Amino acid sequence: MVRAIEWIDAGTESHIRLLDQTLLPGSETYLEVSTVDSLIDAIQRLAVRGAPALGTSGGYGVALALHEGARKGWTADEVKQNIDAVANARPTAVNLAWGARRAETFVAEGFERVLEEAHAIGLEDERANRELSKLGADWLLAQIGDRPLRAVTHCNTGALATTAWGTAYGILHELHLRGRLEMVYVDETRPLLQGTRLTSWELKNDGIPHLVEVDGAAASTILRGLVDFAVIGADRITANGDTANKVGSVALALACARKGIPFVVAAPYSTVDEATTTGDDIEIEERSDAEVLEFAGVRAAAEGVRAFNPAFDVTPHDLISAIVTERGVVEASTAPQPLFPQAS
């Protein structure tokens, strides 16, 4: 199984190894990340991406800040500034800050304790992914029927987006292993084509039948009755069950509601942000014009044209049939509010 992120223990040369997802599927190239600045760059240009993988990146980022600080003689304030920079590198994805803050609580106990906690974040993520995949597959087969199903998915939620296995992709993989997955329609996922480049690559490697479709075809695919359900991941889930995911996700939810088929969101519980009441309070990251107006470095729009490029949209909870985490399945559209009450 591919590993999107690993800690390489090499004494004074210890570092983070990332699979550069901007180069897939053409090249399997790994980045050897030894500074906080290079980690932040990798996060912001999406060399590493996906909520669970970002959570582990946050944990390892704290270890990296301590390691780099020891080499360069940083003060405690400088270490803290670098940890904050990692935590805030992508504001919509709650797992990044969650992983960094979790590991940061052990800074006073030293580098080895921080690294131990970062490793634990990754191991817990893999266990959570495998458990939620089983729960999600069970729920879908109970709702739709114990037969081969057809699915549509958006963006990438496989091992590339996690520490291992996957979230929404993990449910698809689980159904495939049970002989209960007939076909997956994969949204290309504009503007960076994570569906075409990444999800299709993983599905091909796992031998899962699939078709890549343009994002604009997804709603019609659903309304024509070509799929039985939609499943996506999440970068943040609010207390009332609203979910932020790659832009284009809400269109699938609207089409599923019209067709009357399940729209499922799958993510580890670490993606739940109990302190944020609704999706209206989520800060939506806006990215550069070039991602929309250029293709492979060649400008496709006239000079002077600007772009609107939100990286995420928010799906209201009443359009979501089920939110699946390793803790169980919540039927979001009908469950009492709030779905995820803040711990006292």
Please give the helix or strand (H or E) that residue 97 lies within, else none: helix 94-104
Residue for token pair 């990444």: 198
**21 marked as binding residue:** no
Which two structure tokens, joined as six digits, stand for 29? 């190239």
Query: Exposed, middle or buried by CB within 10 Å (0-12, 13-18, 19+), for 60?
Result: buried
What distance in Å separates the CA atoms of residue 76 and residue 339, rounded to the nearest whole number? Answer: 39
SS3 (DSSP) at 117: helix
**127 marked as binding residue:** no
Nearest of 124, 73, 82 to residue 107 by alpha carbon: 82
**245 marked as binding residue:** yes
Residue 319 CA, distance from chain mean position: 20
Which two structure tokens, joined as six digits, stand for 175? 């159904």
**328 marked as binding residue:** no
What distance in Å separates the CA atoms of residue 148 and residue 172, rounded to the nearest whole number? Answer: 11
Query: Exposed, middle or buried by CB within 10 Å (0-12, 13-18, 19+), for 200?
Result: buried
**49 marked as binding residue:** yes
**51 marked as binding residue:** yes
What distance in Å separates the CA atoms of residue 133 and residue 127, rounded to the nearest whole number? Answer: 10
Q: Considering the candidates 125, 187, 235, 273, report the single residue annotated as catalytic.
A: 235
CB neighbourhood size of 248 (10 A):
20
Active site residue 20: no
**219 marked as binding residue:** no
What distance in Å separates the CA atoms of residue 242 and residue 123, rounded to the nearest whole number? Answer: 27
What distance in Å separates the CA atoms of residue 147 and residue 141, rounded to the nearest whole number? Answer: 7
Which two structure tokens, joined as six digits, stand for 47? 């060399």
Known binding site for substrate: residues? 49-51, 90, 194, 245-246
**Which residues are identified as catalytic?**
235
Known binding site: residues? 49-51, 90, 194, 245-246
